[in-house]
Amino acid sequence: AGILLRDTPVPRLLEPVGTLWINAIRMPVLPLIVTMLIASIAGSRDTRQVGTLGARTLGVMLALLSLFALIMTPLASFLLGDLTFDPASTASLREAARFDPALLQAVSLREWLLGLVPNNPIRAAADGALLPLVVFSLAYGMALSRVPDALRETHVRFCQGVADAMTMIIRWVVIVAPLGVFALSLSVGAHLGAAAAGAIIIYLLACVICLTIAIALLYGITARAGGVPLRVLAPALLPAQTIAFTSRSSLAALPVLLTDARAKLGLPESVAGFVLPLCASIFKLNSPITWPLGAVLVSQLYGVEFGGTSLVVFAIGSVILSLTVPGIPSGGFFVQAPLYLAVGLPPEGLGILIAVDFIPDLFKTLLNLTSYASTALLVSRAERARTGALPRAA
């Protein structure tokens, strides 16, 4: 409908409805994440279990990132390595994507590390800085587990109450999901009709194909190693995936994922409340898939040799730097500049990728959200194998 109506004022008129709905569903995200993390950590009273969960979660993240980098980087070179553009198309793309390269100045490692510990958690919350809030919540939960039981239990009950209240708000917002999703879908369709044109369509198709393959592989890995049949997994993830796809924000879909992971996938509170927010903070599985595709495209547009060692360096860098990507639409482009410089690619090429990122970002967000659930299920299965039973809910 959005494609058919893209030349009418209907998508523009309904776009605020979709935006209001997304704002409403994102509104409880930060308080939900903070209170769930604190309740999960302090409620367990076993700091070793928290450390084990954290280490295991990070291990699963790195394993999945490395696996998909190993599979998808050669595929990117195969799909786009022989791509050619006529000079007129190249010039028009560069002209259409003019931007200030200073906007893509990456945060240095020192600045990123310093930013992990917020000097003002309230300001971090106001700025929507999720990762510093997660660090604060982890520290607060660990400290709370060491205070006297009476005080600890009061705090845990309060945090659990806030989390339950935020979940109730989410349920109210989800009631009007059909209207919100319809309004967003019209906007998506309108953009789709304009974006899928010209020489860049091959890159867009390559991104969609690779991301779709990755989602299918992730389903297979989760069903086999996570012990959840596809007939259970797919329907359970569909509501959150719909929100992620239409909003281009995995954070917007996180509250629904938290609810459905516990209710439909049987994840215990101690796993869902800890692993899913942590994944949303630092885990971007799309990075080792779409970053090499974009780099190959830029190399073809600018006539830069890109292969062999450069491709390997880029793949390794995509795994490491993906942990620093902000959870915003097209956020991955803002940390790729050092990689481009390292392999001799012009950072200005990122402007072209940003200009055509609308369609790929839909599927990137879908993959990332699915990977959060997969990671939580894999961690939960590993915990069950280690202890003989799933961790008890807080």
Sign of CA dihedral 31, 375, 54, 387: positive
Structure token pair of residue 205: 């198709």
Confidence of residue 372 (pLDDT cuts 50, 70, 90): very high
Q: According to the model, what pLDDT value does residue 278 have?
A: 85
Q: According to the model, what pLDDT value does residue 154 have?
A: 87
Q: What is the 8-class DSSP label of residue 103?
A: G
pLDDT tens digit sequence for 35-89: 877 877 777 666 677 778 888 998 999 999 999 999 988 888 888 877 666 665 5
Q: Give percent of the chain with pLDDT exceeding 70.
A: 74
* Residue 90 confidence (pLDDT) above 70: no
Minimum mean pLDDT range among 146-155, 175-184, 249-258, 362-371: 175-184
* Residue 252 confidence (pLDDT) above 60: yes
Torsion of CA 130, 132, 138, 140, to 10 degrees: -110
Average of per-residue pLDDT across 261-283: 86
Residue with tokens 């209170």: 35
The runs of H, that is alpha helices, within the chain are 10-26, 29-44, 47-80, 87-96, 109-116, 121-127, 130-144, 149-175, 177-195, 201-225, 230-247, 250-263, 269-282, 287-302, 309-321, 337-342, 349-355, 358-387
Q: What is the pTM of this model?
A: 0.73
The runs of H, that is alpha helices, within 45-108 are 47-80, 87-96
- The average confidence (pLDDT) of the chain is 78
Average of per-residue pLDDT across 154-169: 84
What CA–CA distance (Å, rounded) separates 57 from 171? 28
Give first-to-last CA distance, the chain, whole Å: 45
* Residue 14 confidence (pLDDT) above 70: no
Single-letter code of the amino acid located at 294: G
Minimum mean pLDDT range among 122-136, 164-178, 197-211, 380-394: 380-394
Average of per-residue pLDDT across 7-23: 67
Q: For residues 211 and 360, is the Cβ–Cβ distance under 8 A?
A: yes
Confidence of residue 192 (pLDDT cuts 50, 70, 90): very low
pLDDT tens digit sequence for 213-242: 999 999 999 999 888 999 999 999 999 999
Q: For residues 63 and 180, is the Cβ–Cβ distance under 8 A?
A: no
Q: According to the model, what pLDDT value does residue 264 have?
A: 92
Q: According to the model, what pLDDT value does residue 312 have?
A: 86
Q: According to the model, what pLDDT value does residue 3 have?
A: 46
194-197: which pairs have CB atoms within 8 A and are 24 or more residues apart?
Answer: 194/6, 195/356, 195/358, 195/359, 196/359
Confidence of residue 95 (pLDDT cuts 50, 70, 90): low
Structure token pair of residue 136: 């604060």
Structure token pair of residue 349: 């090429």
Cβ contacts of residue 111 below 8 Å, gap of 6+? none
What CA–CA distance (Å, rounded) separates 79 from 202? 9
Which of 78, 61, 106 minimizes the C-alpha distance to 323? 61
Single-letter code of the amino acid located at 344: G
- Domains present along the chain, CATH in parentheses: 10-387 (1.10.3860.10)
Q: According to the model, what pLDDT value does residue 358 have?
A: 77
Q: 3-state DSSP call for residue 118?
A: coil
What CA–CA distance (Å, rounded) separates 122 from 133? 9
pLDDT tens digit sequence for 333-363: 767 877 887 788 888 777 778 767 778 888 9
* Residue 365 confidence (pLDDT) above 60: yes
